[in-house]
């Protein structure tokens, strides 16, 4: 009887475990932050430069950029968007991703400023 109870307990614990990995391939927070950072930069590039070029289709060019980003990070488009949807419904985890992106943006801004500042002012 004790063995039967132990087996049932183990099965219940395994059944209640995090099913995130079995349902879909969800990117971890660091990978998601890196890919999302690049996707956001590609969207900004499209908005600032490609849309101004009347000879280019901005939507098509943005898709090409995103495909290159996914290839660079070894991530499929489906995995990225499934992960994005997952994190939208996990606000505490999405906050960590957004904070990571914001910190990265701030570091880049400071580095850019330091490179543009004349040596006399440093």
Structure tokens, 49: 């430069």
Q: Do residues 73 and 31 make contact, with C-beta atoms less than 8 angstroms apart?
A: yes
DSSP 45-101: HHHHTGGG-TTS-HHHHHHHHHHHHHHHTT--HHHHHHHHHHHHT-HHHHHHHHHHH
State if pTM tops 0.75.
no
Q: Which pLDDT score, from 0 to 100, does residue 24 have?
A: 61
pLDDT tens series, the chain, 122 aa: 544 444 344 544 545 545 444 456 899 999 999 999 999 999 988 888 887 777 788 889 989 999 999 999 999 999 999 999 999 999 999 999 999 999 998 998 888 888 877 666 55
């Amino acid at each position: 009887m004790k063995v039967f109870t132990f087996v049932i307990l183990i099965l219940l614990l395994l059944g209640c475990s995090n099913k995130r990995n079995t349902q879909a391939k969800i990117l971890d927070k660091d990978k998601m932050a890196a890919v999302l950072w690049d996707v956001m930069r590609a969207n900004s590039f499209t908005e600032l430069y490609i849309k101004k070029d009347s000879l280019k289709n901005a939507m098509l060019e943005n898709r090409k950029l995103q495909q290159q980003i996914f290839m660079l990070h070894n991530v499929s488009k489906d995995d990225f968007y499934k992960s994005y949807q997952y994190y939208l419904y996990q606000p505490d985890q999405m906050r960590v991703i957004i904070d990571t992106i914001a910190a990265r943006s701030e570091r880049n801004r400071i580095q850019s400023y330091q490179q543009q500042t004349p040596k006399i002012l440093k």
